[in-house]
């Protein structure tokens, strides 16, 4: 199943990936990370992720470490 | 079975952490450089000359031999390295202030001499690291800490169009300007960086890519707004495109 892997310790909460996701599967977490930021998290209960990697391509901090398609 | 379509480039140093401000495009540009080095299998054969500015810490992120140059002198160091070791792949990663202001003489003469090196220049229309002063690419009317009423033509003159200027140098094999404002443009940027690197490998001459990047902190904008500015303001003046490609015989 297509999915992404986020390292929430690298996320600086710029939220550029949120706008990028065509299925709107990335949301702001309730947790606060080591940087004092509220990182993003991947939320895909219905398996909609396309594995397009637009989020990872946009992420300036390589916080989206892996993307799988298929 | 799901196939992996994105990963952290192998050449990145284990446990690295970008030190840039949130939303800064330096991280995207460095990742693209790393991906190109990976894809061209250059890790073992590369020497990087790192510049002063936000680009300075490249040696903390990308695992290649790197020498640190004084402000503006990365191209001069890269020239020396390449001449001493012509079989090495040599590139610089510089800000616009470094490349086109304090280092303009070094950069332009290396281009005129056709040094077989590659230069990546991040155009963020200010001196990012030192707090957003007016630089060679600051746009007419743009407010910076040293032009609080906006870049005024009478006082400061015009910004420099680096990719066009370098395309006019006869020693240049490839000169292009790309933007990181959208994902499709990020993909185009990577293709341009890869081509610049390949031109050095083929020994064709000086290869250059100017990358339009956002600087949300110093522009006092959200990362989202900063990309809108890149698109709506910068790309109108600094038009992306390939300004010279000796294999396609494209000239300005
Ligand atoms: C000889 C010298 N002069 C001035 C400085 C101060 N200084 C450090 S970084 C910088 C600006 C770099 O700006 P730019 O090249 O545009 O890179 P950016 O930080 O925007 O990526 C300056 C002026 C210095 N380190 N050395």
In DSSP notation, chain A reads --EEEE-TTT-----HHHHH-TT--EEE-SS--TTSS--EEE--TT-------HHHHH-TT--EEEEEE-
Alpha carbon of B26 to ligand 1 centroid (Å): 15
Maximum alpha-carbon separation in chain A: 34
Structure ipTM:
0.96
Q: Is B98 touching ligand 1 by the criterion CB < 6 Å?
A: yes
CA distance B20 to A60: 9
pLDDT in tens, B87-137: 999 999 999 999 999 999 999 999 999 999 999 999 999 999 999 999 999
Nearest CA to ligand 1 atom 13: B127
Alpha carbon of A46 to ligand 1 centroid (Å): 48
pLDDT exceeds 80 at position B250: no
Contact B6 A67 (CB under 8 A): yes
For chain B, the domains span 26-251
Contact A1 B2 (CB under 8 A): yes
pLDDT in tens, B35-93: 999 999 999 999 999 999 999 999 999 999 999 999 999 999 999 999 999 999 999 99
Fold annotation for B26-251: Rossmann fold (3.40.50)
pLDDT number for residue B1: 79
CA distance B186 to B190: 6
CA distance B230 to B220: 14
Contact A60 B4 (CB under 8 A): no
> All domains of chain A, ordered by start, with CATH?
3-68 (3.30.70.20)
Q: What is the mean pLDDT of residues A16-43?
A: 96
CA distance B195 to B191: 6
pLDDT number for residue B251: 52
Cα nearest neighbour of B213 on chain A: A60
The pTM of the full predicted model, rounded to 2 decimals, is: 0.96
CA distance B12 to B23: 19
pLDDT in tens, A32-49: 999 999 999 999 999 999
CA distance B114 to B130: 32
At which residue do the structure tokens 């994902």 appear?
Answer: B183
């Amino acid at each position: 199943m297509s999915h992404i892997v986020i390292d929430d310790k690298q996320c600086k909460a710029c939220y550029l990936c949120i706008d990028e996701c065509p299925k709107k599967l990335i949301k702001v977490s309730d947790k606060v990370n080591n940087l004092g930021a509220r990182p993003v998290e991947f939320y895909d209960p219905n398996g909609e992720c396309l594995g397009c990697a637009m989020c990872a391509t946009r992420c300036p901090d390589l916080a989206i470490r892996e993307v799988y398609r298929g | 079975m799901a196939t992996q379509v994105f990963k952290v480039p192998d050449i990145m140093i284990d446990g690295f952490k970008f030190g840039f401000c949130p939303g800064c495009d330096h991280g995207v540009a460095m990742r693209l450089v790393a991906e190109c080095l990976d894809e061209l299998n250059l890790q073992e054969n590369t020497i990087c000359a790192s510049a002063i500015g936000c680009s300075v810490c490249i040696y903390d992120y990308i695992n290649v031999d790197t020498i640190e140059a004084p402000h503006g002198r990365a191209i001069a160091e890269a020239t020396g390295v390449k001449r001493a070791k012509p079989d090495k792949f040599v590139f610089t990663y510089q800000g616009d202030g470094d490349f086109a202001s304090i280092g303009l003489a070094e950069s332009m003469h290396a281009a005129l001499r056709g040094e077989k090196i590659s230069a990546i220049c991040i155009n963020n229309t200010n001196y990012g690291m030192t707090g957003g002063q007016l630089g060679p690419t600051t746009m007419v009317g743009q407010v910076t800490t040293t032009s609080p009423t906006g870049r005024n033509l009478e006082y400061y003159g015009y910004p420099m169009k680096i990719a066009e200027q370098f395309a006019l140098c006869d020693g240049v094999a490839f000169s292009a300007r790309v933007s990181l404002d959208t994902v499709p443009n990020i993909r185009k940027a990577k293709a341009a960086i890869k081509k610049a690197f390949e031109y050095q490998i083929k020994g064709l001459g000086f290869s250059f890519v100017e990358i339009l990047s956002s600087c949300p902190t110093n522009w006092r904008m959200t990362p989202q707004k900063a990309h809108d500015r890149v698109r709506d303001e910068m790309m109108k003046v600094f038009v992306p495109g390939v300004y010279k490609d000796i294999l396609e015989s494209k000239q300005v």
